[in-house]
């Protein structure tokens, strides 16, 4: 009798495990992250050399790319203020390099920070997934604390970085919106 109970317990545990694995929440899966070849085909968001200190990104060189979906950002006027509305599926990749000097062509970034416009995703903060990834992005980490979004909230008003947002536009947490073609 004891052996039968043990066998039933093992079978029940296996069936339960298979059931739980098949029912896991698909919404927690991340969108596919772009490869280096993919995002290097996108446009850079700025011509400004990003080699000055930035809170959260350090005192290192950065390059920022935006996918074609994000280039289709819509600018609206709401209460006399320009408001950027990035479409769902916008991906912004920021390459982070080891030093402040512009990288040589063969140099690889030391890490990536990635923003994905996914307002329906349960891990999104203010409509964006905030991702820290190695190079290539094989083990991404979704940042679920407010550090990134709270710092990027500064992009939505006049600030001391880059172009400084002199018109006080709401840029949807993006410091460097796509430059005009």
Residue 10 lies in a domain: no
**How far, in Å, CA of 158 to CA of 166, rounded?**
6
Residue 7 lies in a domain: no
Residue 135 lies in a domain: yes
Residue 165 lies in a domain: no
pLDDT value for 13:
39
Residue 168 lies in a domain: no
Residue 87 lies in a domain: yes
Tens of pLDDT, residues 25-65? 445 788 999 999 999 999 999 999 999 988 888 889 999 99
CATH of the domain at 108: 3.50.70
pTM for this prediction: 0.83
**How far, in Å, CA of 33 to CA of 116, rounded?**
9
Residues 67, 42 contacting (CB under 8 angstroms)? yes
- For residue 154, give both structure tokens: 């500064």
Residue 93 lies in a domain: yes
Tell me the longest C-alpha to C-alpha distance in the chain.
Answer: 79
Domain range for 145: 27-156
Residue 88 lies in a domain: yes
Would you give per-residue pLDDT tens digits along the chain (181 residues)? 555 544 444 444 343 333 333 333 445 788 999 999 999 999 999 999 999 988 888 889 999 999 999 999 999 999 999 999 999 999 999 999 999 999 998 899 999 999 999 999 999 999 999 999 999 878 899 999 999 999 999 999 999 888 899 999 999 999 999 987 7
Domain count, the chain: 1
Residues 116, 148 contacting (CB under 8 angstroms)? no
Which 8-state DSSP code applies to residue 111?
Answer: E
């Amino acid at each position: 009798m004891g052996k039968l109970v043990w066998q039933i317990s093992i079978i029940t545990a296996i069936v339960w495990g298979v059931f739980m694995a098949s029912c896991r929440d698909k919404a927690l899966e991340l969108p596919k992250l772009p490869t280096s070849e993919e995002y290097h085909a996108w446009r850079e968001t700025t011509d400004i050399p990003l080699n000055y200190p930035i809170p959260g990104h350090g005192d290192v060189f950065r390059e920022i790319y935006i996918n074609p979906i994000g280039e289709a950002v819509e600018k609206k006027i709401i209460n006399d203020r320009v408001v950027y509305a990035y479409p769902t599926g916008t991906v912004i990749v920021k390459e982070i390099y080891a030093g402040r000097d512009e990288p040589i062509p063969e140099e690889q970034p030391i890490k990536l920070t990635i923003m994905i416009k996914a307002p329906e995703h349960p891990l999104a903060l203010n409509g964006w997934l905030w991702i820290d990834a190695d190079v290539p992005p094989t083990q991404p980490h979704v940042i679920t604390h407010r550090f990134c979004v709270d710092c990027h909230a500064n992009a939505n008003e006049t600030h001391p970085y880059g172009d400084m947002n002199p018109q006080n536009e709401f840029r949807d947490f993006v410091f460097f919106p796509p430059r005009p073609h």
